[in-house]
Amino acid sequence: MPQLTVPVTLIIGTRDRTGPGRAFKKPGGTYKLGQYQVLGKEVADTLQQGNLIELDGLGHMPQFENWQRFKAVFFPLFAG
């Protein structure tokens, strides 16, 4: 991500626990899935022009879980 030179905004739900590669997890293997309240900050810190918006209490699809809260932070990103 550090090579991105354009502004990037991450909008995450802090309750998101999805885990890429979950289907490939080996039996008996243990690891924490999708701690996005931590991962979001880590990724945003690697971006040259990163911005993180956290939606507390929402999960993997905040735009469907609470459209009002999502659109309140999403649409202003495109205002001139």
Tokens of 53: 């918006």
Read off the pTM.
Answer: 0.78
Q: How far is Cα 33 from Cα 59, in angstroms, rounded to an integer?
A: 13
Q: Which bin fits 6, alpha (ψ -120 to 50), beta or left (φ > 0)?
A: beta
Chain segment 16-69, per-residue pLDDT in tens: 888 766 666 677 666 666 677 778 888 899 999 999 999 999 999 999 999 999
Instruction: Indicate the residue type of 20.
Output: P
